[in-house]
Amino acid sequence: MELLEGKKAVILGVANDHSIAWAIARAFKAHGAELALTYPNQQIERRVRPLAESEGINVVLECDVTRDDHIERVFAELMERWSTLDVLVHAVAFAPREELKGRFSETSRAGFAIALEVSTYSLVALSRAARPLLERRQGSILTLTYLGSQVAMPNYNVMGVAKAALEACVRYLAFDLGPSGVRVNAISAGPIRTLSAAGIGGFREMLHHQAELAPLRRNVTGEDVAQAALYLASDLSRAVTGEVLFVDGGYNIVAQ
């Protein structure tokens, strides 16, 4: 059974073949979705285009989420190509590397601003631009978060604050868009080796700690997260909105 047969999805945040966003893209494609991918700059484009070609994805668009003209152009292109949209996947996050170590009280004004703009406000901007397409299909918006949004984690610092704000945005967007049938949810994934995770100090220790304490006694994979994303993007979750779904082997329920 192809859960997304006939559906169209745009996925932002593929950086390489280890990205959670790429695992989601492959799962969506396997279940019949027609996909569009984006890239923020030429360096990432060189990685994304070959991946897209490997899965027969022929819509690959530039989108720096800090630029409204890029966002508007992406959804104008999708409106012209598809006229509707079923799923928007927001897998975008960034904070300067120097902000992810040391004391949180030393966070710079500029570092705080860029973390919140890229990791959080971008969801709002993308949802606004995608709304006319999503409303036509009573579509689904999905973003990615992490437990550091709810409890203080070593070296997560300003990204934890950005993810907390992101989860609040999920709730407010769900409330705002719900009357038109558009659902908004987040997946809180356990730590996974990705390009963005490489910037977090002590990440190896984090992985080891998770595998030791999580009830399932293992780390999660991109494929684990992709299966949850498949559920939230499909009609199986048609009555689910404003939620944060943990995919972390149960780690979030354990007293640390």
User: What residues are labeled active site?
Assistant: 146, 156
Considering only CA atoms, which of 28, 142, 137, 22 is closest in space to residue 82?
Answer: 137
Cβ-contact 90, 65 below 8 angstroms: no
> Under 8 Å CB-to-CB from 184, ≥6 apart: which residues?
127, 140, 141, 142, 143, 170, 173, 174, 177, 241, 242
